[in-house]
Structure 1
Amino acid sequence: MTQQQESPRSSERSAVGRLLLIASTGGHLAQLDRLAESLGASDSSLWITFDTTQSRALLRGRNVLYVPYIEPRDARTAWTVYRQLARELPRHGPFDQAISTGAALALPGLLAARRHGIRGLYIESVSRTDGPSLTGRMLAATHLVDLETQHPAWSTARWRHRRTVLDSYECVQDGSAVQADTRTSPKLFVTLGTIRPYRLDPLIDSLLSSGLDLSRTVWQLGSSFREDLPGEVHRALGSEEMDENILAADVVITHAGVGSIMRILELGKYPVVVPRRRSRGEHVDDHQIQIASLVGRLGLAEVVEAPDLGIEDIRRAVGKRIVSQGVSS
């Protein structure tokens, strides 16, 4: 069903076109939200995504059509969502364009829109620094939608280049924030996202053996949940609780999920980023290595492999903060 919730900022957007905005939750939705104004999305645009605490908080006050969650490589549910959208989109139209930033929801969403004559645009995730994802390759093979990449290195005549959503962030020194105890006993917030069913135990084990006092640490562990940890442990947190813990921490340690990284940067924190690796069974592929390398090159984070995470990586993040401007088209 379509839901609309109260928004503190919907009136700030300029009305240019009525868009169909399609994205899986997490980093894909975070990117589309950040791009929406530069894409010309009017207040009457319709968002299609999964029903999560992130989507409810991020899209509060906007028109939202929730669809069933599609796990990575889940063709059966993708087909179910395609049929649902093929039925329901005519009731919500007309639309000027359908735009998606991935992941699994992009294929059924854009193809259902195309079935009803709505032109489509797929913007590949900023995490794909070396080439398109499986979803991007499948959509390219259909020749039914326009294609854009956020990285000029692999842009082509078909994959047009647009500026990355990370271009507007910058790291600055914040020496006034360094206090005596933050280098010996920093307050840490560790967030590993909610991707199922992948664990990231090497990161946790490295922190436990680091020699740091972890008694003030807050852990958001998702599928890596365990109870043998000092501090405050959560399987999941709501969006407001996530923000509160990010802001309260001396240092934020995160997996290399685009949504997690973007929210931390948006709140002005310089994180320690730890990418998941497919070879350790931590994700379906190695796209987190690509996004981690990118934020490292841009100077927006300390980047370290999970088994190598130590006290010096955390100390280097103390006293730095992120400033941000809006995204230009």
Structure 2
Amino acid sequence: MTTLLVANTGGHLTQLHSLLRRLPVEDRVWVTLDGPQSRSLLAGEKAVYLTYPRARNVFHVARNTALALRRLPQRGVDQVITTGASLALSVLPPYALRGIPCHYIESATRVDGPSSSGRLLSRVPGIRLYTQHETWADARWRYSGTVLDGYRATPTGSRPVRKVVVTLGSSEGYPFRRPLERLLEILPEGVEVLWQTGSTPVDGLPLTATPSMSSEALNAAIRDADVVVAHAGTGSTLTALANGKMPLLLPRLISRGEHVDDHQTQIAAMLEERGLAVVRDAGTVEWSDLEHAAAHEVSLSATTPFALRN
């Protein structure tokens, strides 16, 4: 059975990669975007790279549809599975309209309802729809679990914080300087910090920025760190949890021009309720918040398969 696994880079790709062990997938081809994360995470895998789209840009969606029709196998595909976002709009409809099973798993960030991509794809006949939140599951949107299943945080007692990883993900076009400025105010002298800054400009700030890095390098840095401070994106959060760290999450806010909406505040609140994260505002976070997050470790237990609709 050949499966196309479709996901934009960042949190969408991290979620699909995390769910892979729970999905009925044998032979597979990844469909994503080129970059340090995808090249590292998918090393040794079959992958097709499409062009980087702008958020909510119809022209870019159409361009990637044309590329997908040229570059992807049109025969021998048994199913398509995606966690979004815009690449799902480009890839799923042509396969669904030919009767090939297509599965759209909405991002875990969507706590109250589907994203714009999910709403659009829900109008395409034949696409199976999944939510990662039971609260809005219904006859159309099935709940089969979440990428957070199996994670548990336990207190370990206070310990010195000497190494910190700050990761702002890969959100293009949405700078997030507030956490950088605030952390520079509160970090004690001598603390070693890795600043993964994404597209956020750091001019005038006394730090050495690493805009992007491979999944392998980021995982290694997080394993070696005492605490992870991150924007509340699913990719950054899952990476921290998978490496045994309870993250300190600082959600991006639409009112500050830091994201397209406030879904990060929703996912952060849900993670805090599950006991898997410490959540604070980026402008008022304190050093004690880092120490509190560092005093926990995260483990992953066995999870049930993610059941797909026939």
TM-score by length of 1: 0.87
Q: 1:62 aligns with which of 42, 45, 49?
A: 45
Task: Report the equivalent of 1:74.
Answer: 57
Corresponding residue SS for 1:209? helix
Q: Is the 8 A contact 1:216 1:232 kept in 2?
A: no
The answer to whether 1:273 aligns with 2:211 is no
The answer to whether 1:311 aligns with 2:287 is yes
Task: Report the equivalent of 1:253.
Answer: 229
Task: Report the equivalent of 1:242.
Answer: 218
Task: Report the equivalent of 1:162.
Answer: 144
**Matches of 1:232 and 1:155 in 2, distance apart?**
44
Q: 1:86 aligns with which of 69, 88, 98?
A: 69
Q: State which drifts further: 319-328 or 288-297.
A: 319-328
Task: Report the equivalent of 2:181.
Answer: 205
How far the C-alpha of 1:64 sits from its partner, in A, is: 1.0
Output one character per residue of 1:152-184: Cα deviation in whole Å (capped at 9) or x when no partner: 100010011111110111001223xx44x43xx
Task: Report the equivalent of 1:189.
Answer: 165
Task: Report the equivalent of 1:282.
Answer: 258
**Matches of 1:56 and 1:235 in 2, distance apart?**
16
Q: Is the 8 A contact 2:32 2:49 kept in 1?
A: yes
**Matches of 1:87 and 1:229 in 2, distance apart?**
45
The answer to whether 1:49 aligns with 2:32 is yes
Corresponding residue SS for 1:217? strand
Corresponding residue SS for 1:300? coil
Q: Is the 8 A contact 1:127 1:290 kept in 2?
A: yes
Corresponding residue SS for 2:89? helix
Q: Which amino acid aligns with 2:259?
A: H
Q: Is the 8 A contact 1:193 1:221 kept in 2?
A: yes
Q: Is the 8 A contact 2:248 2:278 kept in 1?
A: yes
How far the C-alpha of 1:228 sits from its partner, in A, is: 4.1
**Matches of 1:101 and 1:18 in 2, distance apart?**
17
Output one character per residue of 1:87-144: Cα deviation in whole Å (capped at 9) or x when no partner: 34345x3122111110111111101222443221111011111100000011112233
Task: Report the equivalent of 2:155.
Answer: 173
Corresponding residue SS for 2:288? helix
The answer to whether 1:135 aligns with 2:111 is no
The answer to whether 1:29 aligns with 2:5 is no
**Matches of 2:176 and 2:231 in 1, distance apart?**
8
**Matches of 2:80 and 2:170 in 1, distance apart?**
27
TM-score by length of 2: 0.92
How far the C-alpha of 1:215 sits from its partner, in A, is: 4.7
Q: Is the 8 A contact 2:22 2:304 kept in 1?
A: yes
Q: Which amino acid aligns with 1:25?
A: T
Q: Is the 8 A contact 2:227 2:293 kept in 1?
A: yes
Task: Report the equivalent of 2:85.
Answer: 103
The answer to whether 1:120 aligns with 2:120 is no
- Where structure 1 has 5 or more consecutive residues not aligned to the other structure, the ranges are 1-16
**Matches of 2:187 and 2:5 in 1, distance apart?**
46
**Matches of 1:286 and 1:19 in 2, distance apart?**
33
Q: Is the 8 A contact 2:39 2:214 kept in 1?
A: no
User: Which structure has the higher relative contact order (CA within 8 Å, separation 6+)?
Assistant: 2
**Matches of 2:52 and 2:266 in 1, distance apart?**
25
Q: Is the 8 A contact 2:32 2:87 kept in 1?
A: yes
How far the C-alpha of 1:276 sits from its partner, in A, is: 0.5
- Where structure 2 has 5 or more consecutive residues not aligned to the other structure, the ranges are 306-310
**Matches of 2:302 and 2:32 in 1, distance apart?**
23
Q: Which amino acid aligns with 1:300?
A: L
Note the aligned Cα RMSD (angstroms): 1.8
Q: Percent identity?
A: 39
Q: State which drifts further: 29-38 or 256-265.
A: 29-38
Change over 3 Å in CA distance of 1:254–1:103 after alignment to 2: same
How far the C-alpha of 1:296 sits from its partner, in A, is: 0.8
Change over 3 Å in CA distance of 1:251–1:90 after alignment to 2: closer
Corresponding residue SS for 1:36? helix
Q: Is the 8 A contact 1:254 1:272 kept in 2?
A: yes
**Matches of 2:303 and 2:294 in 1, distance apart?**
27
Q: Which amino acid aligns with 1:121?
A: H
